[in-house]
Amino acid sequence: MLRTIIIDDDEIVTFLQRKIVTKCELDTDPYVFKDAQQGLDFLENESDQEVDYLIMLDINMPKMDGWEFLRKLKMVKNNERIHVVMVTSSIDRKDKRDAAEDSHVVDFIEKPVSARHCSKLKGISKLSAYFEEG
């Protein structure tokens, strides 16, 4: 089973991403956190060890940005069950290169997230098994 977690400090963005994720059937009820530390706390203390997670992670956030979240994610138990999509308004090529070097990152999406992005996610090799009919 794959559950979706949306981490973004912008309420409008999280509202829209939740709608898209639900409509595209990535997850019927995604978790939403307005700050990266809340997302880490959930993964460390409340996450189900039998469930894999897809995190839609904003890069630019106050307190803890997406890069710091990725560094701290490596300390989370069973972190190999966590897949991250970097979601950003940044068009900085360095961000894209850095994301590609992280083993947890499966995709890099420029905001806003669309139904087309969700369809693409379902086809990524690390994620496609979760969406096969059967």
Q: What residues does each domain of the chain span?
A: 2-129
**Measuring CA to CA, how many Å separate 104 from each of 28, 95, 101?**
23, 15, 9
Determine contact, residues 42/5, Cβ cutoff 8 Å.
yes
Average pLDDT estimate for 18-34? 95
What does the pLDDT average to over 114-130?
92
Banded pLDDT at 94 (limits 50, 70, 90): confident
Any idea which fold 2-129 has? Rossmann fold (3.40.50)
Of 7-11, 31-35, 73-77, 111-115, the least confident: 111-115
H or E element, residue 55 = strand 52-58
Distance of CA 92 to CAs 84, 88, 132, Å? 18, 10, 34
pTM of structure: 0.94
